[in-house]
A and B are shown apart, each in its own frame.
Chain A
Amino acid sequence: MIPFHTLSERHLVYAYCAVWLLQFGYGAWLAVQWRKTRR
């Protein structure tokens, strides 16, 4: 179960989600650019 009851718990979840969103979002954007850029 995701801890979401206190401010600390919410911010812990936000921090981990923010990292995954930014890192894997950037990775996905790079993958799209890789496919779009002519060899």
Chain B
Amino acid sequence: MVSERQTSAGRGGWGLVWLGLTLAVLVMGFVKAMTAPTEATMGNLQRIFYYHLPHAILSFVFPYLNLAASLLYLWWRGRNRELALAADAFALASAEVTVLYASIGLTTGMLWARPAWGIWWTWDARLTTFLLLWLLYVSYLLLRQFSAAGQTAVISAVLAIFAAVDIPICYMSIRWWRTQHPAPVFGGGADSGIDPGMVPAVLWNVVGWAMWGTFVLGLRYAIERRRQRQSAEDALGYLGGDPSLPEAR
């Protein structure tokens, strides 16, 4: 028989292996970013791109995980309470990681824009819809933090569905409209693409930051599941009148 504690320890071991691999890939990504050929017009400033691009791409991936988890929560909440709670925990974790990655996408973009354009910000379609994406998921987290208990999961799941509408609009904005933001680097037609010498730096960093995102997502999910179990045990303790439990907040 395998106990829950042993299973948890096994997962923790795999988590550490994953973390080690992730850090190795990120170190490799940094080395590749620093040794990639220098871009002809922007010079070393272009190296921000190797961190900006992975975070921007992943800012479009994690919200879809949030959407999927929110839909699953709404589907399961009247059918299977345990699966619904797991989906809700995953939705929260993915929203938090979305805010993290979108914050970095915005920050690195602005740090690039100031020397490249001479301005920190402009209200073009890509930047505006990306800021909207960030605001929507910050709102989602604030809603979860401050709404009255009971309906929080349902209301936030519904908000997640509306928030997800912005993802394809933001992704397509540089294809649909003329923007100050550069045109698509990959898959943007005949003029798109980068020097082959820059590709390894892009790939190592995309993979590395995706692995890191998976790690923090998994850890945040596990923390939330622990907190849910703790709340359930506390609630059962109150019903049973266990005097060892803390007083109700």
- A sample of 9 more A-B contacts (CB under 8 A), given A11-B112, A26-B216, is A8-B115, A11-B45, A15-B108, A18-B104, A18-B111, A23-B209, A27-B216, A34-B222, A39-B5
**Which of A6, A30, A38 contacts B216 (CB under 8 A)?**
A30
Does chain A have a CB within 8 A of B126? Answer: no
Number of interface residues of A (CB under 8 A): 23
Cβ–Cβ contact B8 & A39, under 8 A = yes
Q: Mark A26-39, 1 if CB is under 8 A from B, else 0.
A: 11001101100111
Give chain B interface residues in 188-223, CB to chain A under 8 Å. 209, 212, 215-216, 219-220, 222-223
CA distance A14 to B216 in the complex (A): 23
B140 interfacial contact with A, CB 8 Å: no
Min C-beta distance of B99 to chain A, whole Å? 10
Residue from A6, A8, A31, A37 in contact with B230 in the complex, judged by beta carbons closer than 8 Å: A37
Question: Do B45 and A8 touch across chains, with their CB atoms under 8 A apart?
Answer: yes
Name the contact of B47 in the complex, choosing from A12, A22, A33, A39 (C-beta under 8 A): A12
Contact A11 B111 (CB under 8 A): yes
Ranked nearest first, the 5 interchain pairs of A and B with the lowest CB-CB distance are A8-B45, A15-B111, A8-B115, A15-B48, A37-B226
Cβ of B241 within 8 Å of any chain A Cβ, yes or no, is: no
Binary contact track B85-109/A, C-beta < 8 Å → 1, others 0: 0000000000000001001100110
Residues of B within 8 A of A (CB): 5, 8, 30, 42-45, 47-48, 51-52, 55, 100, 103-104, 107-108, 111-112, 114-115, 209, 212, 215-216, 219-220, 222-223, 226-227, 230
Q: A39–B227 Cα gap in the complex (Å)?
A: 8
Q: Which residues of A contact B48 (CB under 8 A)?
A: 11-12, 15-16
In chain A, what residue has the closest Cβ to B116? A8
B108 contacts A8, C-beta separation under 8 Å: no
7 contacts between A and B (CB under 8 A): A11-B45, A11-B114, A15-B51, A16-B48, A23-B100, A30-B223, A31-B219
A1 within 8 A of B: no
Q: Which of A7, A18, A26, A33 contacts B223 (CB 8 A)?
A: A33
Pair B216/A9 contact, Cβ less than 8 Å: no
